[in-house]
């Protein structure tokens, strides 16, 4: 994609600015694909069936092409505004960024979110596929596969968003004002939504998984504890309005 096309798309009024920053990246289930620049870019670039294959080198080349063009566009715009991107990071800045990254990595919330991903992974690894229970649930009109899919989708996503929220909060530090919604609250909000949905999915599994009942209860308790801790650390997160979603309301 050339720069002019990228510029034209970026200025297209049908796209909601920043919508992709606080979504759950589950594009297959997103009701706002037609308003998402990110989605349109990837769709446009992957119209060739070969490029749809994530293993295909062409896919990554295309993606890297988009990133390259975007970077050039960013540099061009920065220059127009009189900002020299090359000189922004001094050695002190780099050291500070490293220290902040480390602080975020070691933050209790981030470690707990990673632990949850491991616990969920262990549960799946232990072969808790619940064939019998799945059939029982299906007879009652409940799709347990759907619950597995939800948990799998958010398994690592929660940790990634918590990390971004914590990292953002460290970065915002004292400079943070109350007049603008903060990126850390937006990231925390989508992490909380992912936890809400995962807990609901686990609760459904618990209802049918009579043998592994205790393990699932432990997982729910752990995730609920993480959710409460995240709510405490980011008290404004729940009221953060995510562009394109809260007004549409698909339950987050
Ligand atoms: S806003 Fe929707 S379409 Fe865009 S990246 Fe997020 S999930 Fe995908």
| Ligand 1 atom showing the smallest separation from residue 244 Cα | 1
User: CA angle at residue 38 from 34 to 43, to 5 degrees?
Assistant: 70
Rg (CA), the chain: 21
Give the model confidence (pLDDT) of 214-239 as tens digits.
888 999 999 999 999 999 999 999 99
Please tell me if the CB atom of residue 33 comes closer than 6 angstroms to any atom of ligand 1. yes
Instruction: Give 251's pLDDT tier (boundaries 50, 70, 90).
Output: very low
51 lines ligand 1 (CB under 6 A): no
State if residue 237 touches ligand 1 by the CB under 6 angstroms criterion: no
The more confident residue out of 129 and 138 is 138
Say how many Å lie between the CA of residue 99 and the centre of ligand 1: 32
For residue 11, what are the contacts with CB-CB under 8 A and spacing of at least 6? none
Pocket flag, ligand 1, residue 40 (CB < 6 Å): no
What are the angstrom distances between the C-alpha of 41 and each of 30, 54, 73, 187, 215? Answer: 15, 16, 15, 23, 42
- pLDDT value of residue 88: 63
Distance 22 CA to ligand 1 centre (A): 9
Q: Work out the end-to-end distance of the chain between its first and last CA atoms, rounded to an integer number of angstroms.
A: 32
**Which ligand 1 atom lies nearest to the CA of residue 29?**
7
- Tell how far the Cα of 90 is from the centroid of ligand 1, in angstroms: 34
DSSP 8-class letter at 182:
-
* Helix and strand counts by DSSP (H, E) for the chain: 11, 0
Q: Is the CB of 190 under 6 A from ligand 1?
A: no
β strands within the chain, DSSP E: none
The residue among 223, 206, 209, 211 whose CA lies nearest residue 154 is: 223
The answer to whether the CB of 117 is under 6 A from ligand 1 is no
3-state secondary structure 7-35: HHHHCCCCCCCCHHHCCCCCHHHCCCHHH
Instruction: Read off the pLDDT of each residue in 160-172 and give the average, rounded to a whole number.
Output: 93
């Amino acid at each position: 994609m050339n720069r002019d096309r990228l510029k034209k798309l970026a200025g297209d009024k049908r796209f909601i600015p920043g919508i992709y920053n606080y979504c759950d990246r589950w594009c297959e289930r997103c009701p706002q694909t037609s308003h998402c620049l990110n989605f349109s870019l990837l769709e446009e670039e992957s119209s060739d069936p070969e490029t749809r294959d994530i293993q295909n080198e062409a896919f990554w080349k295309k993606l890297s092409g988009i990133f390259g063009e975007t970077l050039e566009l960013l540099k061009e715009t920065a220059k127009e505004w009189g900002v020299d991107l090359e000189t922004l990071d001094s050695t002190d800045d780099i050291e500070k960024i490293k220290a902040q990254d480390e602080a975020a990595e070691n933050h209790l919330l981030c470690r707990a979110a990673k632990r949850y991903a491991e616990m969920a992974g262990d549960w799946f690894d232990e072969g808790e596929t619940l064939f019998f229970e799945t059939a029982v649930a299906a007879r009652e009109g409940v799709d347990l596969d759907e619950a597995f899919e939800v948990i799998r989708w958010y398994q690592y996503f929660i940790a990634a968003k918590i990390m971004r929220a914590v990292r953002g909060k460290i970065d915002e530090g004292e400079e943070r004002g109350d007049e603008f919604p903060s990126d850390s609250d937006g990231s925390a909000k989508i992490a909380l939504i992912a936890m809400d949905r995962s807990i609901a999915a686990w609760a459904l599994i618990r209802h049918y998984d009579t043998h592994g009942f205790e393990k699932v209860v432990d997982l729910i308790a752990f995730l609920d504890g993480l959710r409460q801790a995240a709510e405490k650390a980011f008290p404004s997160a729940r009221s953060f309005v995510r562009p394109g979603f809260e007004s549409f309301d698909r339950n987050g």
